[in-house]
Structure 1
Amino acid sequence: MTAYHDTEEALEFATIDVLAELGWGEHANLYEEIVGATSPVGRESRDDVVLRMRLLAALERINPDCPPQTLDLVADELMRDRSSLSLVNANQEIYAQLKDGIAITFTNTEGDQESLRIQVIDWNTPQNNDFFVAQQMWITGPHHTRRTDLVGYVNGLPLLLFELKKDTVSIQDAFNKNLRDYKDTIPQLFWYNAAVLLSNGRDSRIGSLTA
Structure 2
Amino acid sequence: MSEEELALYDILTKPAPELSDKEVSQVKQACRELLETLKKEKLVLDWRKKERARSDVRRTLERIFDRHLPESYGEDIYEEKCEVAYRHIYSSYYGGGQSLYRQVAS
When normalised by structure 2's length, the TM-score is: 0.44
Higher helix share: 2
TM-score by length of 1: 0.27
Higher relative contact order (CA 8 A, sep 6+): 2
Looking at secondary structure, tell me which structure has more strand per residue.
1
Larger Rg belongs to: 1
